[in-house]
A and B are shown apart, each in its own frame.
Chain A
Amino acid sequence: MQREEKQLDLSIEAIITRLNELKNQLHAILLKIENEADTLTWPTVLDNFALISAQFTAISKMLSIDKIPPFRNLTVLPLKLSQDRDEDLTQLTEQRITAFSHDLVPDYLRTKPEPDIEMKIHQFLNKANGIAFETAQKQSSAFNKVLNHVLDTINKLREDWESEAGSRSGTGQTSSIADTHTLVSVISLGKGLKQMVPQGVSTGPAGMMVSSGIRPGATGPNSTSTAPPGPQSNPQAQIGMMSKTPTGIKTNIKPASQLHTYR
């Protein structure tokens, strides 16, 4: 019995220190809001809230540990009510509560819900009692069925979502630096495009380019008139070859295949 009491004392003390920390934080943020309202920024306020919520989590964690005896089994009873000013209490509560009077006790030591809420609870209880047992069971089973269905749907969606998120982070790479470099050099320098230029239409301009480079005085029409001999020389060579080939019948096949390769 003694040991339990000792443990209770210890845990109460621990809780009190925690609560004091929480109180100080609340105090700090109240001060800030009152004095620095002009310069206060949202991030600082949110930081403070984060601290407070962390304290709350710590306290609720402490309460749920097995070592601490369940406080809910204990009752706090107001032993003395008085309208007079209580100096000790004033000091303890930093002048927030000056007297432990009838006015405050119901608020601070409440054990019952407020009257109108109590009334509502009674109404519901009456209604519940009015229903026949079988219908109640039917309704509750139907309700459970619906709830389970919703739960299943949510769980399935969550699984899908998580697997999708996982696969997305898994595949990771959506862009490659090598591809970027390839593309940029293609559009800026023409890498990989230039080989095909000589066999295309652009041979004409290239030839013109040379002729105009050698003779700066050459005009446009002049250079176009000089260009045709280039392509013309090719057919001439082919005709020459053809005139050569008929001399020997045996070699007839060979030049024909050669001709094909040039086409």
Chain B
Amino acid sequence: MESKEWLHPQAIGSSMDSLGAALKSNIIPNKEYLLQGSIMDSSVEVLLHRLRGLCDNVDTGAETFYDQEMCFSIRGSSSSSSMPQLLYLRVRRALDSTMPQEMPCQLRYTGEPELGTGDKARPTIVRSSVDVAVTPSILEYLTELGARIEFEYVARGYMFRKGRMKITVSKIFKVSREGQGSRPEDLVSQSYLVEMSVLAPSGQDAIGEDMKAFAEQLKPLVHLDKIDYKRLPHTIP
């Protein structure tokens, strides 16, 4: 009994040590490099055709996805009690599987876009990102923790790969209770969202150049750019 109590903290300590070591040696892909854009419904076929030609999964064609994403906010354990920091966590689950209730979910934390030195010169948005595969009970767990759902949406579209890059072309729907998504009145916009992202360890800024070069190849169809959502005009109905 005594030995068990003695062992337990050490096991945690050693795993924390190895995590720290991994962080220090920069092997954890905890940075997301991101470019965003959109394409109108009328031209999406042209873009998909071009992506099919340019990307790696030429033979198998584009992978489709149909996901629901829920954004939770939770108060972080901040030292200053006057301004408890709000943490945003996103849970994503697939809706197109046969048993959506039993499929694993993805839990994701993304930080604010970095405003480090030379950020203006950087070709892409760089933000920290942590992804964890979780069981579907994550929803109850988060609720028990006191997390509060902020908003949710459904994304349906295509995913392409090009080396380390992931390119998604997706339609965003509001979540309606009956027959989730895919109703025309639930559409958020008359365009498809186009995102190009890479997960990489920090300090690998060269990948940004690769992404920019690939984004150039999609012009003038899509203009992928770094979009700071904080500076967007607030004119959305």
Q: Is the CB of B229 within 8 A of A189?
A: yes
Cβ-closest chain A residue relative to B193: A183
For residue A172, give the distance in angstroms from its CB to the closest CB of chain B.
8
Known A174-B46, A174-B221; contact A205-B38, beta-carbon cutoff 8 A:
no
For residue B55, give the distance in angstroms from its CB to the closest CB of chain A.
19
Known A179-B40, A206-B148; contact A187-B153, beta-carbon cutoff 8 A:
yes
Indicate if A202 sits at the interface (CB-CB under 8 A). Answer: yes
CB-contacts of B129-155 with A (<8 A):
143-144, 146-153, 155
**Cα distance A181–B43 in the bound complex, in angstroms:** 18
Interface size class of A (residues with CB under 8 A): 20 to 34
Indicate if B191 sits at the interface (CB-CB under 8 A). Answer: yes
Indicate if B21 sits at the interface (CB-CB under 8 A). Answer: no
Cβ-closest chain B residue relative to A219: B144
CB-contacts of A151-193 with B (<8 A):
173-177, 179-193
Indicate if A220 sits at the interface (CB-CB under 8 A). Answer: yes
Known A181-B233, A193-B152, A205-B148; contact A175-B36, beta-carbon cutoff 8 A:
no
Indicate if A208 sits at the interface (CB-CB under 8 A). Answer: yes
Inter-chain contacts of B24 with A (CB < 8 A): none
Known A175-B191, A192-B188; contact A184-B232, beta-carbon cutoff 8 A:
yes
Indicate if A147 sits at the interface (CB-CB under 8 A). Answer: no
Indicate if A194 sits at the interface (CB-CB under 8 A). Answer: yes
Indicate if A79 sits at the interface (CB-CB under 8 A). Answer: no
Indicate if B237 sits at the interface (CB-CB under 8 A). Answer: yes
Inter-chain contacts of B75 with A (CB < 8 A): 213
Q: Is the CB of B147 within 8 A of A182?
A: no
Cβ-closest chain B residue relative to A168: B46
Q: Is the CB of A191 within 8 A of B191?
A: no
Inter-chain contacts of B236 with A (CB < 8 A): 181-182, 185-186, 191-192
Inter-chain contacts of B189 with A (CB < 8 A): 179, 182-183, 186
Indicate if A196 sits at the interface (CB-CB under 8 A). Answer: yes
For residue B128, give the distance in angstroms from its CB to the closest CB of chain A.
15
**Cα distance A205–B148 in the bound complex, in angstroms:** 6
Q: Is the CB of B229 within 8 A of A188?
A: yes
Indicate if A212 sits at the interface (CB-CB under 8 A). Answer: yes
Indicate if B159 sits at the interface (CB-CB under 8 A). Answer: no
Identify which of B174, B222, B232 gathers the most chain A CB atoms within 10 Å of its CB.
Answer: B232
Which residues of B does A touch, CB under 8 Å? Answer: 36-40, 42-43, 46-47, 69, 71, 75, 143-144, 146-153, 155, 172, 174-175, 177, 188-191, 193, 220-223, 225, 227, 229, 232-233, 236-237
